[in-house]
Structure 1
Amino acid sequence: MSEPLTMIAVASVGLLGLSIAVLAALKGWQGWLDLKRMELAGSQRSEARSPAFERIEMADLKERIRKLESIASGVDL
């Protein structure tokens, strides 16, 4: 092939690769936005929690904090 045709072929392949990468990134972005929309919709519905659930969740958070504090102080569990 001649030099100009080689340059056109390389540029075309590069443009095609870039287009595929951009489309994949846009698809990932849309998926991430859908995930965040579902998380927001789920958090609005979960406001009517029972008091027992709140106590269990608070106990779980306190346990996690205790473990993190022991890790920070260098104590093995």
Structure 2
Amino acid sequence: MPPADSLLILSAATLTGLAMLGGLAAWGWSGWLRLKLRELEARPTGGELPAIGQRIDLADLKERIRKLEAIAAGVDL
């Protein structure tokens, strides 16, 4: 069995390493959140699309819903 001093040193080193990993993970998470916030701010709002673009998007969504309903009903497309 190792002496108490080496066990204390090993425990302290392990806790220090875990604290460093936790700090690095928190720093990375914060950076990722800042990146996503910038992406959201740069995204155009729905009101900026022309009317024809909105109609095409609506038609596309309706088509997707129709396909999903057919899949749920067990119909092959």
Shift of 1:10: 2.1
What is the distance in 2 between the residues matched to 1:70 and 1:31?
42
Per the alignment, do residues 62 and 31 of structure 1 end up closer, same or farther by CA in structure 2, a change over 3 Å counting?
farther
Shift of 1:54: 0.8
Render the CA deviation track for 1:9-67: whole Å, top value 9, x for unaligned: 32133213312331232133213321331243134x33311112111211221122112
Q: CA RMSD in A?
A: 2.4
Which structure 1 residue ranges, 5 or more long, are not aligned?
Answer: none
Per the alignment, do residues 28 and 62 of structure 1 end up closer, same or farther by CA in structure 2, a change over 3 Å counting?
farther
Which structure 2 residue ranges, 5 or more long, are not aligned?
Answer: none
State TM-score, norm by structure 1. Answer: 0.69
Q: Which residue of 2 aligns with 1:50?
A: 50
Per the alignment, do residues 19 and 48 of structure 1 end up closer, same or farther by CA in structure 2, a change over 3 Å counting?
same
State TM-score, norm by structure 2. Answer: 0.69
Per the alignment, do residues 6 and 33 of structure 1 end up closer, same or farther by CA in structure 2, a change over 3 Å counting?
same
Identity %: 43
What is the distance in 2 between the residues matched to 1:19 and 1:68?
47
Aligned length: 76
Deviates more, 1:26-35 or 1:52-61: 26-35
